[in-house]
Structure 1
Amino acid sequence: MSSQSVHFQSARFITSAPDIRHLPADEGLEVAFAGRSNAGKSSALNTLTKQKSLARTSKTPGRTQQINVFSLDDGRRLIDLPGYGFAKVPLAMKHKWQQALSEYLQKRKCLRGLVVLMDIRHPMKDLDQELIHWAVESDLPVLVVLTKADKLKSGARKATLMQIQEALPGFNGDVQVITFSSLNKSGLPDLERILQGWFSLPADEDDQSSTEGSIQS
């Protein structure tokens, strides 16, 4: 895999898949974006790629119901995973989303990093933390992105960031945190820099071992 820089604005939609069996071949490099249904994940993807409607945004949480795949170049992709944790959807649909999310995280061998997006006003919910623990156990780097940073004043924003920074060593892994705003694009250079590093990692020759169990909602 080439270490050439990724041009995020070249992202283009490839497919939506209900599960990993309908995804492109498990080769190359992927970085996945995951987050609660109201965490601003689609807006962050649109900001990163400098495209207004690459990822669909909606005022109705839970709109992302499938695994959305965006090609960056010949072997590197961004993955928009189903939103999780929104209680006001039918239970059967919630379980379906959760199964697709869990299966992808456990079995996809080309995954090189996990971006966990959290509303800065409501960070580190149980499933957010469970996702981070899974990635650490699988030797994957994690980037916690505290979205909607413009919603807090500077003092509160810095206090929340410091609180999360102090909690991260407890995960015993490669976990970083940044604040981010799709509105004023604060944090965008940090996001781009970290993802460039992940996409420069060599593709493994051997299969990455899968994690047992499932992620519970």
Structure 2
Amino acid sequence: MNKSPRRAAPPFLALLVAFALAACEQVGLEALSPGEHLFQTVDEDDPRAPPPTVMQFDLETLEGTSSLLSTRVNEDDAVFERRRIWRTADPTGVHASILIQSRTNGRVISYPGDVREAITLWPDLYLKNAAFAALIQSRNALGPVFYRRFEAGGQLCVLFQQGLGPNPNEVMRRVAGYYCAPVGDGLTAGQAETVIRAVRLVDRDE
């Protein structure tokens, strides 16, 4: 598997990335995700839950991390969320997350058009007042995806978002996630692309 996200950028490239990110606009959204306070944690076998989905990054850099799965429901908005987080014991180490949101009533789901707003799904990142680089459109195994590199709390990261469904106008699942390299490591444009293409979802039958 590709280990490129772990490699630190050469000194001149690291300076270039730092300069580019510093020049990007700062994000200071006024509120976290709408309805965030309405979510309640539920068991994985909750009757409102869709069939299980395995979420993963095919990255060796995450092999030494701890992984935590959580599931929640927002009854008011009829939204079910499944989220996985990868972390090390060291808060300055690599960490990442993927989440999937869908409607408990089987309807389409909407989400903000700007991938930057997805950062509100992770308050620990949002509160660090992230500085974002340019928007990139690409593809991974799931289909079209939008992402931005960003800097938060001394770590270089990438944030992505995509919608899954039978067609672009009928999104049944919102997929979002991020990956942050350890403090002091680089995350070049090529390395960010490697992360985005490493996203995997494996749906399981009941």
Larger helix percent: 1
Q: TM-score, normalised by structure 2?
A: 0.27
Structure (1/2) with the larger strand percentage: 2
| Structure with larger Rg | 2
Structure 1 length normalisation: TM-score?
0.26
